Structure formats: C-alpha cells, structure tokens
Structure 1
Amino acid sequence: MEKSKIVHGVRMESIGMPLQDKAFFADEYLDVGPGKQVMVRFFEDWYPKYATFPVLSDDVWVVTYPKAGTTWTQELVWCLYNDPDAPESKQPLTRRFPFLEFDSLLDPRLPDMLPPGSVASDDPMLPGNTWKIVQNLKSPRFIKSHLVKDLLPEQLWKVNPKIIYVIRDPRDVCVSYYFHNRKILGYKGTFDSFVDLFLDEKLIFCPLWKHYLDFWKIRDQPNILFLRFEDMKQDLGSAVRQVAKFLGKEVDDAKVSEIVHHCSFSQMSANPAANNETFLTAPTEDSKIRFMRKGEVGDWKNHLSEAHLKAFKEWTAKNLKGSDFPYYQDY
C-alpha cells in the first residue's frame, strides 16, 4: 500500500515490519488512527466492514488487549448463558465467541500456502470465515475484539450493548505475548528485543496503555464492566457473580461452582473447545508452545531483568502521567 491513506475516515500509515524476522501470516504493519494502533496491512481492506458492523442491544462483547485473560473471560461469559456440558460447548470458542477482526490478521493467500486438505474450507482459521460466522450468529451474540475503543464498530457507542473489558499487569502481558508471538507468528528474535518492541509499541494491537486508559475513562458507564485478571485469579467465584449480575443472569451456588470448575486453568487448558489450540501456528520448532501457557499472576518475575523493570517503570510513568489509573505501578 502507499505510505499513508485514509480509509473510512481513519488514517492508516505503513510502518514496515518491526519484527526482525518476517512473521507468519504478516509481511507489513500499519499504524492506524489517532491512537496509532498497530495492525496487519490487511486491516485496510477489512476496517470499513468492522466500523459499520450492525450492533444489537443484547450483544455481549469481550474487549481486551491480547493476553489479558480474553479466552478465560469468553468461556466464563458463554457458560453463564449455556450449559457447559451441552453439545454446543464442544464447538471451538472461535465459533461460539468469534474474534471480530481475526480475518484482518490473515494473508488472503493463506489457503494456497497450506497443504491441500489440511484445513476444512469453513474453518475459522481461513480468511473470510470468521466474518461469515459473526454475521450468522444467533442472538444473543458473543463477540471478542482486541481493537482500541476508537476502532470498534461505530454502533457500539449508540446501541450500548454489554461490554466486558479486562486488563492484566503489563509485565505479565508482555511475557505471555512473547510466547504467543513465537507460537502464532513465528517470532525468532530474542526476548530482550521483544521487550523493546513491546515498550516501543511496535507489536500488533499496541499501544497497551491507550487500550487500557480509553476504557478506564468510561468504566462507570452502565454497559461497561471493567475487570482485572488478578482479581479473577484471586477469587473466580466472586468474578462469576460479578459478571452474572452485570449481564442480568441469576446464578445459584451450584451454577457458580460449576463455572468455577469449568473455567479453572487446568480444565480449560485441557479442553480443546476452549483452549484455542485450534489456532494455526507458525511452522517453527516453537509450535508446541501452548496457547494457554500458564495463566499465572506474577510470571514476569521469572523473565524480566532489572534493566527490563527499569524500562517498564519509565514507560508506565510516562503513560500514566496525569491519569487516576491506580494499578500496576508497584516498582
């Protein structure tokens, strides 16, 4: 694409390929909109569809920055509306709770890059199929997105369906995102280089603080529920009740216990319908990394050096200057 252009009223500027090695599924990134969210170049073609996507009042949206507890929250929400043991629960989460902008992350040439017959023609991993799934969802619809507030469908802010927004310690997000990029995108660079890319906001779906703070500012709106990954880990039962109340779903102790068990890390990581292991992975030796790897609080302590933490502290202070956001500043 040309260096910079306007698509559906939003500026999109090519920023090349920040990752040291060409990533699987992507060969060029864009800097999109005033929030400068980093997206794959194919987003240019898909964005008008996302911006004008018709929103329904009984939709339930889970919006997050990647690796902030998205999959966990999706399964929890789905189980509040459905029986975890129902036949439908065997369908992959990518069908039950589709990822709105997933098609925009995929090279349209992908079907020709895969071995013949290796992926079913209607598989959500093939470009265009997730859009078909989203359009054919039955009400109430469950939809996931990693887009920043300004790039989400325009009708979200007029129809005001329920939106659950989840945050997680950026240090844990960074570590988890590193392994995710190795598994999904075939990142071959060093961990140190990845931390630099994360803090320089040159990875897909960056910038993190823009993502968090935009929803922090509207957290008191009645259709917004702002959750923390750490609070969910500390007391999942309370989180289930909180989400149920927000969604207007009555739950008794038995239902809460059922969901807590079903959504425990051990159960979800072993559940092929919930653990997102159906995602295509880059053809590298890292393809055996699990999509749901640890799900821990504080795993960053096992990976980040003192130099990393100093950089995180400066990055956090810079982005939170003048904000009343109270979390993740315990350096």
Structure 2
Amino acid sequence: MKIEYLVEQRKHIPNEGLPLVNFSSPTERKDIPIETDWRKRPWTITTDFPECVERNANATVREDDVWIIGQQKTGTTWMQEIVWLITHNFDFETFANVGTFQRTPNFEFTGVYKTAFADKIKFYDVYDACDSLESPRVLKSHLTGNMLPTELWTKKPKIIYMTRNVKDAVLSRYHMYKGFHYWKGDLKSFLDAFLSDNLPYLPYWPHIFEFWQMRNEPNVFFTSYETIKKDLKGNLRKICKFLEKPYTEELLDQAVENLSFEKMKNSKASEKTKELVERLDKAVGEENNEFNFYRKGEVGSFKEEFPEGYTEKLDAWSEKYLKEAGLTADKILNFQKDF
C-alpha cells in the first residue's frame, strides 16, 4: 500500500522542549478496522520522524508478534515485562538479567529520538534490533494507528493497548522527559505544553479513542494501568488466555513477585537503563542525574506535585474530548474484555 504523508512546521514550539512538526497521513485506510478521516488527525512528532517514516511503515510484522501500544507512561513498560514473561515460558532468569529494552524494544525509538538520544550516545538502531529478534517478539510503540507498520493491520498480531489516568501519566512523562533531557523547563510549563499538544505523540485523547473503537477486535486487549495494578494475578490469567499461553497458579504467583514495582525498580534490568541515562548525562554535560525510569508506580501521585489549579485544568480539558466522544474516563479505565 502506498501511503501519503504530510509534514507541516509548527508555529509555536516551546524553547524548553524538542523540535516538533505536525505529521499526518491523508491516505484512506480501509485496512485499519475503524472509520476516521485521517486528514483531520495531524499528530505532533519530533522533526526526526519524517526521515524514517517509510522504513517505519514498511517494517516487517510477524503473526506471532505481540505489540504493546499506548500513550507514553501509561504502563506500557510494565506490560512489556508482563507479556515477555508469558510469551517466554516464564524465564525469570533472563527477565532479571537482560535489559527491558533489549528484550522488548520501543519500535520507533531511534526514529523519534535520533537527535535527542540515539546520536548522542551512539545507541543501536532499534529498527535493525527489532528485525534481528527471535520470535515471539514483544514490541512497544506509542504511534497512532495510521503511523504504525501497515502489516500490523494485515497480519493482525496480538495487540495490547494501555491507558492510565491522564494526570498520573503526564506527571510521569514530565519526570521521564527531564531525566532524558527532553525538557528544560519546570512542571508548570510542561503541563502547558501538554495541554497545547506541544510534546511528541500528542494529542492524547484521540490516540486512546482510536484503540477504544478497536477494543472488541479479537486480536486487541484494551486495558489500563489501574486495572492491572488492582488485580495483577487475575489480569495475568486474562492475558495468558488472550495470548493463548499456558500457565500454572505457581508460575503466576512467581510472576507477581517478579513484576512488583520494587522488584523491577531494583533489578539488574533496571540498572542497565540507569547506565543508558548516565551515558546520556555525560554526553550532554549534566551529570548527577537522579532520574529512575521506575519512579513511583503509584495511582494518584499527581496530587502531591501538580501546581495549583492544574488538576482542574486537566479535568476540564479532558472533559471536552470525552464529552464529544460520548465517553467518561471511568468507563475507559475500567473496561474489561470478556473471554
């Protein structure tokens, strides 16, 4: 399928952040199982991404892949770990000793963050890394439906879509962007940028609404960070059934222990992520960065850090999107797929 892409320079980009463009695809996409006018859906992405978009769109997808998709900091990394364990016969030793992003790469990472991250530390090409992985692959992406590889919609591998309370997600994103030197301003300026779609992978809600419309597709498992956190073992059973993978109660108990936030935060795999951040710190000349990719993992932590008035701002902003879609945040966050 030949897909047309449009790139438009953004007029207002915060000096505190990364260079951005509006990116869209006006091509009619009958292969994607939802009806929408993609011409009206421009997405904010870094200026690096248009250079790799053809490679991105034409990437090979395997039928036994599992793709973890969602907005940034919605629990996608946790789900990567869950799915990798289930699809790799609960190999706890490799899980603990091989870095998360070696086992389950972020598919478009070096395409989106080439200048801001990959070039600075000579990071490996993630597209090549994905191609070289043995099956079954577990891959993560934050891209929208029409920006994902076209074979995702023809080969129909399993897709798990993650959502999260937007206020917790944006706070976690802020700390990640600060840790990776993607944002030089304070939290208030970051929240203003988020509300104005002046960060990569925005706007936020339309991305979720896309996959909400696909929630009943047989190859899609739509869930939330809050749902998984509320009953990890029960949801591990559901994910095993969705992925058609065997399990025992003993293995699930062991998985729950290994997937606890504290265990993951202090794992050797987490140490490898810290090493990457230290290399980036040195490259940009800002060492002694205390950032940890696994920060708190709590529900409602935004209440401790949001500037005055911003809880109400994000609630009102969300309500506009949700009302237009005829949805509520609770309905989305509490959705349970039947088996």
TM range (shorter): 0.7 to 0.9
Identity over aligned pairs, percent:
29
Provide the C-alpha distance between the structure 2 equivalents of 1:251 and 1:107, rounded to a whole number of angstroms.
39
Provide the C-alpha distance between the structure 2 equivalents of 1:248 and 1:20, rounded to a whole number of angstroms.
47
**CA spacing shift, 1:107–1:98, aligned 2, 3 Å:** closer
What residue is the counterpart of 2:294 in the other structure? 292
**CA spacing shift, 1:197–1:109, aligned 2, 3 Å:** closer
What residue is the counterpart of 2:6 in the other structure? 11
What residue is the counterpart of 1:3 in the other structure? none
Residue from 181, 196, 203 that aligns with 2:199:
203
The Cα offsets for residues 7-60 of structure 1, whole Å up to 9 and x where unpaired, read as 951111122672333x5xx5x211111432221111111111111112111110
Question: What displacement does 1:153 show?
Answer: 0.9
* Contact persistence 1:71–1:274 (CA under 8 A): no
* Contact persistence 1:84–1:262 (CA under 8 A): no
Provide the C-alpha distance between the structure 2 equivalents of 1:235 and 1:111, rounded to a whole number of angstroms.
36
Residue from 325, 328, 333 that aligns with 1:326:
328
Residue from 251, 258, 272 that aligns with 1:255:
251
What residue is the counterpart of 1:43 in the other structure? 49
Residue from 18, 23, 26 that aligns with 1:32:
23
* Contact persistence 2:110–2:118 (CA under 8 A): no
* Contact persistence 2:21–2:47 (CA under 8 A): yes
The Cα offsets for residues 160-218 of structure 1, whole Å up to 9 and x where unpaired, read as 11000000000001111111111112422121111111111111111110111100011
The Cα offsets for residues 202-235 of structure 1, whole Å up to 9 and x where unpaired, read as 1111111011110001100000000110011111
Secondary structure at 1:239 match in 2 = helix
* Contact persistence 2:104–2:139 (CA under 8 A): yes
What is the letter of the counterpart of residue 51 of structure 1?
A
* Contact persistence 2:159–2:220 (CA under 8 A): yes
Correspondences of 1:125-204 after superposition (within 5 Å): 125-126=123-124, 129-204=125-200
Correspondences of 1:36-115 after superposition (within 5 Å): 36-82=42-88, 83-87=90-94, 89-107=96-114, 113-114=120-121
Question: What displacement does 1:298 show?
Answer: 0.5
What residue is the counterpart of 1:308 in the other structure? 310
Where do 5+ consecutive residues of structure 1 fail to align?
1-6, 120-124
Correspondences of 1:210-249 after superposition (within 5 Å): 210-249=206-245
**CA spacing shift, 1:206–1:8, aligned 2, 3 Å:** same
Q: Report the RMSD for the aligned CA atoms in angstroms.
A: 2.4
Provide the C-alpha distance between the structure 2 equivalents of 1:210 and 1:20, rounded to a whole number of angstroms.
25
* Contact persistence 2:57–2:150 (CA under 8 A): yes
TM-score by length of 2: 0.84
Where do 5+ consecutive residues of structure 2 fail to align?
25-38, 332-339
**CA spacing shift, 1:158–1:104, aligned 2, 3 Å:** same
